[in-house]
Amino acid sequence: MDQPPSFLQAEDGARLAYRHTPGDDPGILFCPGFHSDMQGDKALALEAWCREGGRQFTRFDYFGHGESDGAAEKGRIGRWAADTVHVLDEVTRGKQVIVGSSMGGWLMLLATLARPERVCGLVGIASAPDFSRSMTAMLRQAGHWEALQRQGYCDMPSHYPGESTYRIESAFLEEAGQHCLLDGPVPIDIPVRLLHGQADSDVPWQRSIELAEQLVSDDVEVLLVKDGDHRLSRPDDLCRLLRTVDKLLADIDGQESLLVPPGD
């Protein structure tokens, strides 16, 4: 049974919920996606694997998500990036590998740029840096742009269970533009692994290729899953994620991988 969360207070007094498993470092810090939380299959699979191996692991909820304070529609990319850095600073210890899913793949990049000395590797799952730009195009195509301009917000239907709609504010899109990264080189020079499903209907797999091209690091690998969807949370997807993280940690530690390679 999941234990109650701990809480970290942000500068404005809002409480950020987190769960931390002590252990060896490099640790793993998991960043969930937009309107997601730390209770997802990927976060829980990583936590169980880290606990079994005695490795440090941290998962958390951004402002307005999950068990943290606030309303998601009042959150901003800069706010959520600051939440990530705050957890990195106050909860984790030593070097960290950040694993980011969807929007979490954007926030892991921003957190790494803010704290390059603390991050030794990145794993992106359907990474969505600069997704606010594609969201703007989608709103225009879907006929929501006029309502957004008139009201300052619009409600978008969600195709995920448990959420009928989610609200997008024009202020969110404007603020997000200040944090876009892919217009030029991304000055991150550490090992990066990017997983992406080619059947992803939310974030095109080409986004991971674009990100790989813009990262200054030469140690970047992209793994495409032909039938993979956006979440990449099927049992085979979770095994693939654990193998990827395990191999990256082995490369960083200079040790042998703990998991049996596929096909052996």
Catalytic residues: 102, 200, 230
Strand order in the sheet with 220-225: 6-9, 15-21, 55-60, 24-31, 96-101, 119-125, 192-197, 220-225
CB 56 within 8 A of CB 22: yes
3-state secondary structure the chain: CCCCCEEEECCCCCEEEEEEECCEEEEEEEECCCCCCCCCHHHHHHHHHHHHHCEEEEEECCCCCCCCCCCHHHCCHHHHHHHHHHHHHHCCCCCEEEEEECHHHHHHHHHHHHCCCCEEEEEEECCCCCHHHHHHHHHHHCCCHHHHHHHCEEEEECCCCCCCEEEEEHHHHHHHHHHCCCCCCECCCCCEEEEEECCCCCCCCHHHHHHHHHECCCCEEEEEECCCCCCCCCHHHHHHHHHHHHHHHHHHHCCCCCCCCCCC
CB 119 within 8 A of CB 31: no
